[in-house]
Amino acid sequence: MSAYDFDRTEVVIIGSGFGALAAAKKLAKAGTDFVLISETTEHLFQPLLYQVATGVLSAAEIAPPVRAILAGHPGADVRLGRAVDVDPEAGVLTYQASGRTRRIGYDRLIVATGARQAYFGRDEFAEHTFALKTVEDAEALRRQILGCFEYAHTTDDPQRRKELLTFLVIGAGPTGVELAGQIMELAQRYFAQSVAGLSAADVTVRLIEGADEALPAFGGRLSDYTRRSLERGGVQVDLGSFVTEIGDGVATVTDACTGAAEQLRAQTVIWSAGVQANDFAEVLAARTGCPTDRAGRLKVNPDLTVGARADVFAIGDMIAIDGVPGQSPAAMQGGRHVARTILRRQPQGTAFRYRDKGSMAIINRGRAIARIGRIELTGLIGWMSWLVVHLAYMVGFRNRMIAVVSWVGSFLGHKRPHFHLAMSEPAVPAATELGQVDPQTPPTDPAPPAADDAACRVA
């Protein structure tokens, strides 16, 4: 029997996001033994995924290995696995690793399994849209975007060219705003410079939002500035509109006021309209009796414990607690709070207090918004603030330096250092034909069929 079929440790942490790593670092520095179990080997800096999708950064620069982050702490044991069940009474977690089911006992359990894309009861939309939650999502979307421009360059069919160069972005939260702005900049500053016969006027980017404001979490002047900036940059912003149907290469957009419906043909539809807790939240809720909200998030206690369990904690965007956004700074603060409780540096039951140090969101090159207390920043000052804050949160000096070089080339110049596409690359879910042309068969002008969030807050 393997030593890992059943073993025991002081603390088990599930996840490798901001909250999990914040707790792990604090426990590691205190010399507390723990096992961190994650479905991925990297710590993903999710707010910069859109830059991977648009060729500004590579995945390696925003997803360093968890083992490297925790190197030098002998009490840290990182395992690649997927949590599937928990017995809170016995203090045992069941997880799958290396094709086997394993169990591990714990004194304290920290769950930070995050959130996934939500489709508001229309899960079939996932088959026809691109999401942006993982590195794989970002790389698939990058291949799709580049493939659409490449095939539009060689097609002789005007209608197909129009559909290839039409991009629909659903949801005007930070992810949707960032993607819409960056795709339009790709057309204006990269493809218009590098692809003969193509101009930004050939490209349509439509941002569709059900609320009456872009970036509705900000509201007022900042939301108005966001909409105006996008429109000046060439993005068509449709507010008060909902996508009611999505099929292969077509989406139906309905006006919330008039009920008028419009069919839009596009080979790329990006969904960024909402999130819900990952599957393990449901398991944990059932085992502990913890209530959940409509998005499946755990309604944890004020001290971040789950249900009636004083030894089980949940943090990050899998929880619902008044006044606490489901964003990385809140997750990090929550992780540190839980670690302090476990280390007995504060009394058991101490309520978590979130310290809101501000919110910011980027729109496009040279334009961003920020709200820090009563101070509101827009334009170049907001943009520079956004860059500095996100640079500070990147892990590792090398990654920061590479990011600076990439930003200079992309935002001040016309370079996209990580844009590449080969005919031999595997197909992506909503772009089957992009990488699957038989080299023995003459090309027949294939076309790829069609494919929440709150603002990033300053920790």
Residue 185: active-site member: no
Active-site annotation holder among 139, 163, 178, 213:
178
Q: b/e map of 173-187 (b: 16 or more CB within 10 Å)?
A: bbbbbbbbbbbbbbb
Structure tokens at 47: 């707010």
| Residues with active-site annotation | 178
